[in-house]
Structure 1
Amino acid sequence: MFGNAASCSRLPSGLNPTALDDHAASLQRRLDAVRAAQPVFGQHLNRRHRRPGRKESPVNRSGTIPMWILVMGLASLVAALVTAMLKNSLDAPVAEAVLSAGMAFGCTFGLGLGILGALQQPRSRSTHRGSR
């Protein structure tokens, strides 16, 4: 790369030209290794991003979906009980308290299922750039 170091007339008197060539070659190898490890700017744009499938989804690791549905059901039950106790404390009829509790349960559970479904569902193809 640098040619023959012995032919260079500017070398200080105490340097060994062969050692200098070896050191320059070592530095060049390190620089090549670093350049190979770093992506070139814009190189990532050519690669397609691979989105994890349903089985690779972070929500579905080790079969956690039934556990999340159970947690949503318990949270919905707590919301329904709190709603029923609040309605009952306001001297509302029992039927109205039960209906309000049922609506609170249904809304909370539906919201939880919607969030779980959104975490699992892959992005639609219409959002990709090339499918216009």
Structure 2
Amino acid sequence: MTHTLAKYQNLKESFNREVSDQLQMKNSIAQHGKSLVIQVDPIAVEIETDKGNIEAIIITSKVLKTPLYDEIFIALEKCLNCSSVKFYNAYQNAIQKGTIVSAENNQVKAVHDASNGRLNVKITREQ
């Protein structure tokens, strides 16, 4: 079974149609390792790739709540075909309790970590 979430170029094209201009993903990334694809204060999105295949998406926010996070996550849910209220509930639970909460849908897992007063979310393919 693959760990791949999507091909970067495919995700970028569909994601960029869903978000505002300020949140557009960069045109190209490293074929291996981490690449910063979105940086709009207070939020950043990094992609971990292997041969251009996305293995993980990491969203970090300096604050627990920002409309930029909502816009990014909703677009990713749509593009990764995993939309679910489970993700929203996990996010709300994590920020309200200052803890780590994970959710899964359609073989996509998101771990929401709000334990340090910031929001860190890692999205991966569930095995």
Which protein shows a greater Rg? 1
TM bin (shorter chain): under 0.3
Using structure 2 for the length normalisation, give the TM-score: 0.22
More helix by share: 1
TM (norm. structure 1) is 0.21
